[in-house]
Amino acid sequence: NAGVMQNPRHLVRRRGQEARLRCSPMKGHSHVYWYRQLPEEGLKFMVYLQKENIIDESGMPKERFSAEFPKEGPSILRIQQVVRGDSAAYFCASSPPRVGDTQYFGPGTRLTVL
């Protein structure tokens, strides 16, 4: 029973490039969440998605960031024109369809912007 999977685990980009982070939820989970974590800090909510729908994106920066969870395939967090301040660990979590159920986290993608 595989857990939440994220890839790549480490991603290095130069300023101005695009970063694409992928997340495959646990089997049977239809809710996906993205969080960002800076060193020595807690996780900050970014966006909550269900299949083909963005439910809550209140934590997403207004520009350059977007997320999707298509009918088929993994959820994608996309960061355009990355800047150094985007360097962080990005975690994906998933939960079953029941509202308010526990979220289980993936291993994260560590993005470094040079």
Partner 1 sequence: GENVGLHLPTLSVQEGDNSIINCAYSNSASDYFIWYKQESGKGPQFIIDIRSNMDKRQGQRVTVLLNKTVKHLSLQIAATQPGDSAVYFCAENTVGSASKIIFGSGTRLSIRP
Q: What residues line the site for partner 1 (CB under 8 A)?
A: 4, 31, 33, 35, 41-45, 48, 55-56, 58-59, 91, 93, 99-100, 102-108
CA angle 47, 73, 77 (to 5 degrees): 30
Min dist CB 106 to partner 1, Å, is: 5
Q: Are 90 and 36 in contact (CB under 8 A)?
A: yes
17 vs 37 by CB, closer to partner 1: 37
Scored b (16 or more CB within 10 A) or e, 77-95 reads bebeebeeebbbbbbbbbb
Residue 81 Cβ vs partner 1, minimum distance, rounded to whole Å: 27
Looking at beta carbons only, is 18 or 52 nearer to partner 1?
52
End-to-end CA distance of the chain: 36
Instruction: Show the tokens assigned to 78.
Output: 């996309």
Q: Which residue has the tokens 């289980």?
A: 104
Cβ nearer to partner 1, comparing 48 with 86: 48
The residue (of 44 and 51) whose beta carbon lies closer to partner 1 is 44
Shortest distance, position 75 Cβ to partner 1, whole Å: 14
